[in-house]
Amino acid sequence: MRQKSSPTAGGTMPGMDSVLSPGRGWRELPRLLWRVGTAGGAILLTMGAALLFNRPPEVVRFTPPKDCRLELAACRVEFAPGAALTLDVAPRPISPNAPLTIAVQLAGIDARHIEASFRGVDMNMGVHELELQPAGEGEFRGSTTLPVCVSGRMSWEITLRLTSGRQIYLLPVRFDSGA
């Protein structure tokens, strides 16, 4: 008796016996390829979306105006036409080891988070970070105390970090405290 020849039984395609069983035959190949292609496409689509939506935010650094003297008056910085930030501190004069209130007023900027970090300019006093809290329409506030410097007078740099959408704005401002 002569046996019928089939692609899987005849061994014409080695290694395919486990994928295409004699019961399924070659008619299942398009469906198998469709499933593999669909799964691969879904994986590629997921990876592409992750890369697109999880890219790091853009960091934009600003320089304060030359006449910005925070120990004397509030500082206003224009980010773009119609977008500005005003930074103020109270009380004046700024004294070490006394409560200090930081206020940020925004115009034309939709910030969801603002942090202020303080560091000594001429003397390492560590870095002190403060999260400012929303305090009304476009206003953020926070309070802290600057450490005492043995020399009395101290130059500080406060760096504001504003998070707005996919951007982070950094604004360093220097000021003096003490006698």
- Whole-prediction pTM value? 0.68
* Sheet architecture: strand order including 167-177: 58-61, 167-177, 154-164, 113-120, 127-134, 139-145, 99-107, 83-90, 75-80
62 exposure class (CB count in 10 Å sphere: 0-12, 13-18, 19+): middle
Domain 58-177: CATH class, spelled out: mainly beta
Which range has the worst mean pLDDT, 29-43, 64-78, 95-109, 156-170? 29-43
pLDDT tens per residue across span 47-83: 766 666 667 778 888 888 889 999 999 999 988 889 9
Tokens of 106: 């925004």
Q: Do the beta carbons of residue 162 and residue 85 sit within 8 Å?
A: yes
- Which neighbouring-strand residues pair with 61? 170
Tell me which residue of 146, 166, 142 sits closest to 157, measured CA to CA.
Answer: 146
Amino acid at 95: S
